[in-house]
Amino acid sequence: GAKEAGRNGFQFFVADMNVRAFERLMLENALRRAIEQDELSLHYQPQIRVADGQVCGCEALVRWQHPEMGMIMPAQFIPVAEDSGLIVALGDWVLEQACRQQALCARAGRLLTIAVNISALQFRRADFVDRVADILARTGANPRLIELEITESALMQPSDALHERLQRLGGLGLGLALDDFGTGYSSLAYLKRLPISRLKIDRSFVRDLPGDAEDVAVASATLSLARDLGLEVVAEGVENAAQLEWLKARDCQIVQGFLFAPALPAADFLAWLQACGAQPAGTTD
Ligand code: C2E
Ligand code: MG
Ligand code: MG
Ligand code: MG
């Protein structure tokens, strides 16, 4: 009867939880090895300045090439890295790799800003700024061409310590961008006091522009807020010409998305820069 089905359902549920806990442990162990054995790599997605159509920088996005499972995306393993504390080693690796790439580009005469994602857990560690300063010194990267993307959630529960941490990062010359803007609950008064230079409109608010009234409302509000605070806006997830036109008409400064290019391995990214510059994918001139 219903009782029996319920009991079986419960058993399935428990079994399923065990499988998932097991899978997670496997993933955690595999990730620990991956960091040591060089299975991670950074892909780079171009950012385009709307005013002149030129590539002004890129975002570094981590990828995991597992020998058997193939390519694993960050949405699957960043949460595991955060739960297990591996995010600190992973974050250091990512920042160091991006800094090396920046120094390499500079030596080749390409002055591109490289944006690096910082997890809330990484940012909230007391030694975070020291680790960043260390990596900058070790790699010889130009801090003015490195931008840290910090999520709104990392800045929740604002405190003097967090604010001072941001000030010290700015003092090193680093750019600071607020990632996933609109998905958290930053108070506007707080935002005004933050030493940041850019807001990134979350992809979820770009997807249905210009047809969706809610996305139009959020994107418009973000752009006008940024203008009033003297911040630049990066719109991510720009996939079509209609989105681009809408953003352009409202003076969004920087765009990023599949309309231009997805995140590419370093060599492919450099080749892409060489070949098609900032022309949207599919155009011919
Ligand atoms: P994010 O920082 O908001 O990065 C933007 C994500 O949107 C990337 O996904 C990018 O590939 C994707 N994207 C960009 N343009 C388009 C588009 O036009 N259409 C669609 N459908 N997607 C687009 P990805 O690489 O899978 O990364 C997902 C998230 O994982 C990132 O979101 C970020 O939160 C996190 N992440 C990625 N790399 C790192 C890292 O090195 N460290 C940390 N802590 N987090 C990372
Ligand atoms: Mg980001
Ligand atoms: Mg984002
Ligand atoms: Mg929507």
What does the pLDDT read at residue 277? Answer: 52
Which residue's CA lies nearest to atom 5 of ligand 1?
236
User: φ, ψ for residue 259 (rounded to 5)?
Assistant: -55, -35
C-alpha of 181 from chain center: 11
In this structure, what DSSP letter does residue 127 have?
Answer: T
Task: Write down the pTM of the prediction.
Answer: 0.91
* Interval 51-108: pLDDT, tens: 999 999 999 999 999 999 899 999 999 999 999 999 999 999 999 999 999 999 999 8
Which residue's CA lies nearest to atom 44 of ligand 1?
119
Amino acid at 79: P
Q: 3-class SS at 111?
A: coil
Task: Tell me which of 44, 78, 238, 264 to substitute to probe ligand 1's pocket, judged by most ligand atoms within 8 Å of the beta carbon.
Answer: 78
CA of residue 218 to ligand 4 center, whole Å: 10
82: CB partners within 8 A, 6+ apart: 119, 121
Query: Does the structure's ipTM exceed the value 0.90?
Result: yes
Looking at the CA of 180, which ligand is closest? 3
Q: 3-class SS at 113?
A: strand
Task: Tell me which of 65, 203, 240 to substitute to probe ligand 1's pocket, judged by most ligand atoms within 8 Å of the beta carbon.
Answer: 203
CA of residue 257 to ligand 3 center, whole Å: 11
User: φ, ψ for residue 9 (rounded to 5)?
Assistant: -60, -40
Which residue's CA lies nearest to atom 3 of ligand 1?
180
Looking at the CA of 213, which ligand is closest? 4
Task: Tell me which of 43, 47, 61, 97 to substitute to probe ligand 1's pocket, judged by most ligand atoms within 8 Å of the beta carbon.
Answer: 61
- Helix (H) / strand (E) element for 219: namely helix 213-229
Query: Using omega within 30 degrees of 0 as the cis cutoff, is the peptide bond preceding 79 cis?
Result: no
What does the pLDDT read at residue 192? Answer: 82
Looking at the CA of 118, which ligand is closest? 1
Q: Which residues of the chain have pLDDT under 50?
A: 1-2, 278, 280-285
Interatomic CA distance for residues 25 and 238, integer angstroms? 36
Q: Identify the CA nearest to 206 among candidates 169, 153, 259, 165.
A: 259
What does the pLDDT read at residue 42? Answer: 98
Atom of ligand 1 nearest to the CA of 180: 3
Looking at the CA of 43, which ligand is closest? 1
* Interval 24-42: pLDDT, tens: 888 999 999 999 999 999 9
